[in-house]
Structure 1
Amino acid sequence: SRYTRLGIPVYNITSLIENGNRDNANMIHNPESIHKHVADEALKQYALLKMLPAHLADAHMAGDIHIHDLEFFAGRPLNCMQHDIRTFIKYGLKVDGTGDHTSIAGAPNHMETLMNHTGEIMLAAQQNMSGGQGMSLWNVFVAPFARGRTYDEIKQSVQMLVYNLNMAYAARGSQVPFTSMALEFGVPDFLKDETAYGPKGVEVGTYADFEEETRLIQRAFTETLLAGDNEGKPHLFPNTIYTLRPETMTSEYEDDIRLVHELSAKYGSSYFVNMFPKYRNKMANYMGCRTCLQDTWTGDWDQDCLRTGNLAYVTLNFPRIGYQSKDETQVFEYLDEYMDLAVETLMLRREQGLKCLNDFHILPFLKQQVAEDSYYRIQNSTLSFGFVGLNEMLLSLFGEGIENPDANKFGVKCLEYVNDRAKKLQEETGLRWSVLQTPAESTAYRFATLDKKQF
């Protein structure tokens, strides 16, 4: 029989209080992080003992796969999200999703209010989700609120937001919320004829009318990041993602692009989305967890990329496959076995997510009504195969890593094999399957530790 006492040994709590825990670099050693770690341990054990079949729990414990965010499997099973600030521009903000326990704000009338809402939205949503929070096309959608403002006023508002995101010390276990912000250098062509919403949620023309304001907000954001905080340290959040498009990579935008390169040179903090390839279509967005959403799911950029995100991912231990396999055929047999485990786990997690949304009513921010729909679009969220250690797998199989042409070719073949499985699953289930390279500092260490013992 499986051990059923949930909790953490007393001596572990003593050590935790005295020495802290190093699993998460974003968390300080304080009462909140101690409380979070103890609760996490109990909830991880609950997921392994009560929610997962024995073969899935064993596969995780043995290190064949890694089931991320086990502590959130039961009550907070949805991972990350890309928000649509237009929703709150039009309808106002209930940070608890209902207004029963917090004050309710109407449609914002001033840029400063919208800056505050931006931070509150991402902080509130992280109370319902296990992963990061992002916003895309943000400076375009906010641009109508900058009309008639001086540049100094715009910059002051943006500074307020950036400091808010880095000082809202209220996320889980004394963290600031993990946030991502995708900025545009100008209004993308596909948005120019879209209805623009301004103060009080009123229609104010189209976004083509707000090109200048879009550019000023981006510049203010970049200059704020470039200045750092009062001591010159970089602002760690949001992960700032600049979108490179053919229509804005021109001499007209050269000064803005150079400023972002200056930010990259100083802090190395800029991310870029390359929208030049044809496969990108009109819209693609990213988050810190490496989730990518593109308008290739339904073909509607709004449905595919906003108010949804990654539901969950399970990571495959690639190096172990290399240690276990005697030939190429065995590699693909192990890939099949590990992917089967991941699929079963992810389907259970999605089922739990639906229960939390619809039956248990414990995710009210995500479930809140927007017109005729819920805010969070679970039907467009991704279920993902993660992987780590491709190079180490190839080292084991070939004696050399990805720098070796034969090893490199085989590595690509393995990734294509996983990606083909994701495509087949899309056809079989009607759900949005994908593949990502896991951000796996602690997962990779855990795999390596278990593999060292076994091999």
Structure 2
Amino acid sequence: VPEDLAKRPAIVGGVEQDFTYGDCQDEMALINRAFLEVILEGDAEGNTLDFPIPTYAITKKFDWNEENAKLLLDVTVKTGLPYFANFINGDLKQKNARSIFSGTHFNAKKLFKKTGGLFAYGENTGTIGTVSINMARLAYLAKDEEDFLKHLDKVLDISARSLSTKRQVLASLLEAGLYPYTKHYLGSFENHFSSIGIVGMNEACMNANWIQKGLDAEEAQNFAENVLMHVRKRLKEYQADHHELFSIEAVAAGDISHRFALKDQKEYPDMMIAMQGDTPYYTGSTELPIDGNVDLFTRLDIQNRMQEIYTGGTIFNVRLAKNEYDAKGIAVLLERIMENYTIPYITLNTCNRDYPIEGYLYQEAVNER
């Protein structure tokens, strides 16, 4: 039971009871076990369920030897589905897992972090929309770093205005009664973020004539860090101007990375673009290419530096080669990562699911510990 709920009276049917949530640990364990068993079983044909995607809070008190924890690891081995929130290191707080503004008022000078990762938003919050910025094209067209930041500022200004306009339209439609359930349960979109996302920073560094190296190089990492801090600074200015929440997002990319790369490939044939077979794409946010030669813990070192700058969307994806892992080894790996890094959210893809590229080898990770 989360510490901030343990001593609160349990509510049943809207009525406070004479027992607390802390008294309901056995019932919570029963529900958790039932959920994990359903996920482990899969659908009627035994296929992995794509949703829901659970996010589990890992604290210093988390017992990996407890029966439900073992079942969770079995689910992870079979499906790669769960996300793990790092409450051991970093600035994640359990009390904020449900409400981002727990005892906090809006402060334009501060960028608030989204709660719950990609699939476990806190209460009464979400995203108005996300504008993804093609960093690779900006870097390719820029004369130098100063010119890059100049053009980036123009794109950021347009992004902020478009998101603010969208927020105003949605708010007016909400007040006009077009979203009755949203109006009843949320009341407003005041706690929703206007998100600006980063796509293709690795390719941006490779195309920048003043760097021409990927994110595995120190100078590229320094540039990426400076760009992220610059975006944070601008978002604080937008918050003050619009009095609205803004977020700098680590965009997973997906379709948008392919669309950006496809357009750039046609318009600028000499651009450096990542390829998977004949398919062009850009690496998500400030991630390294998954088919590179950088080992797992070096990647963690680099992402540990980057991910704490973002306020939303951060996830470190550990890809494990098929049949190279077991539940006990995964527990050791998760503990090792969370004890030594401030990366907020971690997922392990065990390649029992359909992923186009197999990346890190589990055996390499275990040998390094």
Deviation at 1:308, TM superposition (A): 2.1
Aligned twin of 2:231: 418
Aligned twin of 1:270: 82
Matches within 5 A, 1:38-117: none
Is the 1:283–1:305 Cα contact (8 Å) retained in structure 2? Answer: no
Deviation at 1:315, TM superposition (A): 0.9
Residue identity in the other structure for 1:364: P
Aligned twin of 2:305: none
Aligned twin of 2:203: 392
Aligned twin of 2:134: 317
The answer to whether 1:258 aligns with 2:65 is: no
RMSD: 2.6
Aligned twin of 2:261: 448
Is the 1:234–1:267 Cα contact (8 Å) retained in structure 2? Answer: yes
Deviation at 1:275, TM superposition (A): 1.6
Match of 1:357 among 161, 174, 196: 174
CA–CA distance in 2 between the matches of 1:348 and 1:428?
13
CA–CA distance in 2 between the matches of 1:432 and 1:206?
34
Aligned twin of 2:105: 298
What SS class does the counterpart of residue 196 from structure 2 fall into? strand
Long gaps (5+) in structure 1: 1-186, 287-291, 369-373
Residue identity in the other structure for 2:158: L
What SS class does the counterpart of residue 280 from structure 1 fall into? coil
CA–CA distance in 2 between the matches of 1:403 and 1:272?
25
Is the 1:308–1:377 Cα contact (8 Å) retained in structure 2? Answer: no
Aligned twin of 2:146: 329
Alignment deviations for residues 75-130 of structure 1 (CA, whole Å, 9 cap, x no partner): xxxxxxxxxxxxxxxxxxxxxxxxxxxxxxxxxxxxxxxxxxxxxxxxxxxxxxxx
CA–CA distance in 2 between the matches of 1:354 and 1:451?
35
| Count of aligned residue pairs for this structure pair | 254
Larger RCO, structure (CA 8 Å, separation 6 or more):
2
More helix by share: 1
Deviation at 1:201, TM superposition (A): 2.8
CA–CA distance in 2 between the matches of 1:348 and 1:367?
19
CA–CA distance in 2 between the matches of 1:424 and 1:215?
45
Matches within 5 A, 1:8-407: 187-198=1-12, 200-204=13-17, 205-247=19-61, 249-250=62-63, 254-285=66-97, 295=102, 298=105, 305-359=122-176, 361-368=177-184, 375-397=186-208, 398-407=211-220
Deviation at 1:305, TM superposition (A): 2.9
CA–CA distance in 1 between the matches of 2:165 and 2:148?
26
Alignment deviations for residues 409-454 of structure 1 (CA, whole Å, 9 cap, x no partner): 1111111211222233333433211111223322112211221232
Instruction: Label 1:221 to 1:207 Cα distance change in 2 as closer, same or farther (>3 A).
Output: same
Aligned twin of 1:92: none
Is the 1:422–1:434 Cα contact (8 Å) retained in structure 2? Answer: yes
CA–CA distance in 2 between the matches of 1:450 and 1:312?
22
Is the 1:293–1:309 Cα contact (8 Å) retained in structure 2? Answer: no
Deviation at 1:284, TM superposition (A): 4.7
Is the 1:243–1:272 Cα contact (8 Å) retained in structure 2? Answer: yes
Deviation at 1:270, TM superposition (A): 1.1
What SS class does the counterpart of residue 316 from structure 1 fall into? strand
Alignment deviations for residues 139-166 of structure 1 (CA, whole Å, 9 cap, x no partner): xxxxxxxxxxxxxxxxxxxxxxxxxxxx
What SS class does the counterpart of residue 190 from structure 2 fall into? helix
